[in-house]
């Protein structure tokens, strides 16, 4: 008896994929952007400055919070223009320009380390380019309004708002499709009960050991008489912490240099903004057992 073959049609490409596929020149633009921002948010930039711009101190990326400033101010400006409240509209436009500077710097910090892959590299470059053009339009609008050419000024700010709206959609693609700025361990299944994961004899002093616990990567490390365990997948962009450098009581991600405490996975330095999952550890009959830290 013949069995009917079911053909599953290919899924259509996302609109963002179609857009960047036709813009290979974005790769060169992205490299120029990364070179420009490297002294401020790159690996060689001062740690305190980078941590401040990443949002390490906040517990999640800073950029999504501050991007509300230019968008909110410029939305208010557009509404006041419609109502004929010229003074209020102009004030909101100026405040939006100030907010755009903060949003630009924090956005560059969040994107800087994600350019190894084509989609985040191109999407981020396009996002930045549109935002820059919108900011230029708003600055030009301010200039024209101040010189009495209000109609032309409003036209430019309206065009700028359109660009900001498209760019905001691209920012959503970067976060919710590509995963820039999200916790890379958010959906891992963590062991809530004691689970044996390795023989204690397999742990060499100072040398990380990667194990799988119900599909979740965990890094074990013996330091003298103690054994610690934290998530092995860096919360930033998924780097393998078990391949990172052990520096005293911390581990440094080999990909982008995030620093975490070994005893509990706590975040010390970015670009990560989330801590690592931490585990309790005990040794039973020569076997290392772990469970999610209580």
Provide the β-strand partners of residue 205.
Answer: 222
Q: Rounded mean pLDDT of the chain?
A: 92
Structure confidence by residue, pLDDT tens digits, 95-126: 999 999 999 999 999 999 886 789 999 999 99
Q: Which of 227, 262, 224 is nearest to 244 (CA)?
A: 262
Has residue 65 got a pLDDT over 70? Answer: yes
For 183-207, what is the mean pLDDT? Answer: 90
pLDDT tens digits along 137-194: 999 999 999 999 999 999 999 999 999 999 999 999 999 998 999 999 988 888 788 9
The reported pLDDT for the residue numbered 114 is: 82
Q: Residue 39: which residues within 8 A CB-CB, separation 6 or more?
A: 45
Give the range among 11-15, 36-40, 186-190 with minimum mean pLDDT. 11-15
Instruction: Report the alpha-carbon distance of residue 85 to residue 150 in Å, rounded.
Output: 12
260 or 1: which leads in pLDDT = 260
Instruction: Provide the pLDDT for residue 214.
Output: 84
The confidence score (pLDDT) of residue 3 equals 59
Does 92 score more than 80 pLDDT?
yes
pLDDT at 6 over 80: no
The pLDDT of residue 23 is 93
Q: What percent of the chain has pLDDT over 70?
A: 96
- Report the C-alpha gap between 161 and 137 in whole angstroms: 9
Q: How many beta carbons lie within 10 A of that of residue 205, not counting itself?
A: 9
Residue 192 has a pLDDT of 83
pLDDT value of position 273: 95
pLDDT on residue 7: 64
Provide long-range contacts, Cβ within 8 A and 24+ apart, for 125-130. Answer: 125/26, 125/27, 125/29, 125/30, 125/33, 126/19, 126/20, 126/23, 126/26, 126/170, 127/167, 127/170, 127/171, 127/174, 128/33, 128/104, 129/29, 130/163, 130/164, 130/166, 130/167, 130/170
């Amino acid at each position: 008896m013949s069995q009917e073959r079911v053909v599953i049609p290919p899924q259509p490409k996302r609109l963002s994929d179609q857009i960047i596929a036709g813009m290979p020149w974005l790769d060169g633009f992205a490299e120029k952007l990364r070179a420009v921002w490297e002294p401020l948010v790159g690996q060689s930039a001062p740690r305190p400055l980078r941590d401040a711009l990443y949002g390490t101190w906040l517990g999640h990326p800073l950029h999504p919070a501050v991007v509300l400033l230019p968008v909110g101010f410029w939305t208010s400006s557009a509404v006041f223009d419609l109502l004929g409240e010229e003074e209020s509209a102009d004030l909101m436009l100026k405040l939006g320009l100030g907010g755009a500077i903060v949003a630009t710097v924090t956005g560059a910090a969040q994107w800087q380390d994600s350019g190894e892959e084509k989609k985040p590299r191109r999407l981020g470059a396009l996002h930045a380019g549109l935002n820059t053009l919108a900011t230029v339009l708003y600055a030009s609008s301010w200039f024209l309004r101040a010189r009495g050419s209000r109609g032309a000024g409003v036209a430019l700010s309206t065009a700028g708002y359109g660009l900001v709206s498209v760019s905001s959609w691209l920012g959503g693609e970067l976060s919710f499709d590509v995963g820039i700025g999200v916790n890379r361990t958010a959906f891992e299944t963590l062991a809530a009960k004691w689970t044996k994961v390795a023989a204690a004899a397999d742990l060499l002093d100072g040398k990380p050991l990667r194990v799988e616990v119900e599909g979740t990567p965990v890094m074990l490390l013996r330091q003298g008489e103690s054994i610690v365990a934290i998530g092995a997948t860096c919360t930033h962009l998924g780097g393998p912490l078990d391949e990172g450098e052990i520096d005293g009581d911390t581990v440094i991600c080999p990909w982008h240099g995030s620093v975490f405490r070994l005893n509990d996975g706590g975040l010390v330095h970015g670009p990560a903004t989330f801590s690592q999952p931490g585990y309790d550890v005990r040794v039973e009959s020569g076997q290392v057992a772990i469970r999610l830290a209580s």
